[in-house]
Structure 1
Amino acid sequence: MPSEIVPTMAVDRLWRCYVNAGFVDGTPVNELAGVWIHEVSHLLRDHHGRAERLPAQLQGDRARVNLAQDCEINDDLVADGLALPRDHIRPATFGLPNGLLFEQYLPDIPAQPPCPRCGSGVYGGVEPWDLGPDGAATSVSPTEADAIRRITADAIRSHQRTRGSVPNGWRRWADEVLEPTVDWRQVLAGNVRQAVAWAGGAVDYTYRRPSRRSASQATVVLPSLRRPVPCVTIVVDTSGSMSDDDLAEAMAEVAGVLRDIGIRGNRVTVLSCDAAVHVVQHVSRAEELEFSGGGGTDMREGITAALAQPQRPDVIVVLTDGFTPWPDEPVGTRVIAGLIGGDPPPPPSWIESVRVND
């Protein structure tokens, strides 16, 4: 839609495109088509959604965010043979390599450079030319936007299969849309939180603190309800096949989740185990961990030792490369396996598993 205040061409988060008539008159048709595809690419790659997930101090620097996003797009458009204005931004403008995501380009973009404004559909926020959600123009809902992304990604993949001439950035984007990868940290944290919440929901009665309603009963002492703080045991595979770096990262992630939800001290026990259990520790920080082992692998020993503790755990987290025997049947306690390494074999179906990788 035409706008006298938009500098050149811009999009908003509702997939509406604003165009300055003077810019259109002064731009060759082939370059104008390239700019239009550039703006649509911002929407297809969900740049405004990704920008809003940046750290707060970076979200406000819209010029740098816009330039980093232009770098992510324009190398693919040029590789695809599209014409762009002579002053278009690309990774080489800043001495950077092609093929990266804008989040990777952003740290190397200089502060406050001159920049075209591609709109709120690029870096978030609101621009003065935006019509808003109640504007007269047709808009695209988030559900429709996701459908458009999937249809486009499927078309790119089909073109790649038949002609094999899709730029690497577009191919990578299409693969991510159709087969999204999930950060293992989020999955592992979500599973641990869910298991702890489930265990913490086991409300029971106790006479240690009588119910307040007992005051109204002359001869009867009523119990009160209590919600126990769950106990968590982490079984760490310290056999020779484990990578120290992967193990340390996974351990820190689990410890961080437990700390955030208030479980620490004697409510967290860590067992070092290869073919046998070597060290039992109560820890409050990941830095306190000391691992022993280095021999074979048998996580059955670690799980058995966890269950035999004086305070039976409500949740057991096993960090292992997966090359281990497992108990033949459920053990009566929720077990989560963090599988570390390139190609770990799956545990039994009754054990929740998360692939820990880069």
Structure 2
Amino acid sequence: MSGYARRLTTEQEDRLSVWRALAEKAAPYTAALLYAARYVNAPGLGTLGAVDPRLRVFLDVDAMIEKWTDEESAQVLVHLMFHVMFDHHSLAEQKLQSDGDLSPDLWRMAADAAVNDDLEDAGITFPSTVSTTAEQIGMDRGLSAPEYYDELSRRAHDADMDLFHLHEMASDLMGGAITLGTDLQDRVSLDFLTSTWEDLDLIAPPAEDFEIVAAVHTVAEEITKAKGAGPGRLGRWAEKITAPSVIPWQIVVGGYLRKAARRKPRGLLKTYSRASRRQAVRVRMPDGSRGRKIILPGTVRPVPTLVVIRDTSGSVSDRELGEMSREIEEIAVQCGVPEDRVFVLDVDDAVYRARSLSEKGVLRSATGGGGTDMRLGLAAIPEVFTEAPELVVVATDGGTSWPETPTAFPVVALVTSDGKDTTPAWIHSVSVHGVPA
């Protein structure tokens, strides 16, 4: 394992919990990202903290404890979450593609200046000695990261500064090891992070795209609920993010299902519920005689279980149910989940028999038509299935009651575009567009 990036110790985890609690208190809307992030101890980082495109947060924990207060360290975490919220890594990729080169140093300065503008507007202070501000670079406040970058780039070219020999490092930036955060002044810090890229997957598994999208969307929803900033760029950003999603819901469901499939043990497991294909063996007794025949266990390859709960109340049309069911069936096929591991459970004000897709005509028929209570449907899962499914997808128009506490299995709600989304915060809901009512 790398001598640089490493897991946090128990004591460091405890201190991180304090910083995260203070960060959540200062900016409550960032909680989803703060708790979804993967934290890595990076002694000698040369700065307080940084974040990569896979939501891995690098912290020089010992230096933070020594030099800064808990409140200032919490401000660092909030600062890093703002980089994720405004998708500064993707903007850097776009800038590289459009301009043909990119100075990572100038981009970090530009992104930091943009973040600190928003932090100030939100009433959150930040240790100015460790991060670039618009005032420090002599520019007007309120610009975006690309706008700050363009001006810094123009100045560098006008002054004939030798900054763009670093453009070859842009490939490292896109690889994910170069991070955004407070100024990375020590070039060695960049080198050891890139050199330990393979180790990082073991220390802190990278976040999937759908996890990051879901966390950012939750942040935006919390801001719109008046838990954060009011008018201003942060408020406008939240309104844009919470507008009807342009990300197809199929991608979200597929992401959850692929993650569920990866959680299953790899390879084959032994089981006596299936006889071995090999010939049975006999144990030779001490006296040399042939003993009793022994049946060898067979093997089975674990596969995830997907449950689709369909809201069959009168407010959801048969056509909507059919369209969503067929899409989910196709997603399951693409993710390698066989028909006999995909179950359909119809629910209105009662719960009906779970049927697998291997049964004929399951998608063409629906049971029920009364009111709706998804509390019953989700509560029935442990009773119907001996093992918790890897994913439960609820297809509904949203006009239903939901459990107040999270279930032991992940739940994704597909809410029709003309429905009312009443899902609780612990359920990831997606608005389904393009399905005719």
Q: What is the TM-score with the length of structure 1 in the denominator?
A: 0.43
Q: What is the TM-score with the length of structure 2 in the denominator?
A: 0.36
Look at both structures and tell me which one has the larger radius of gyration over its CA atoms.
1
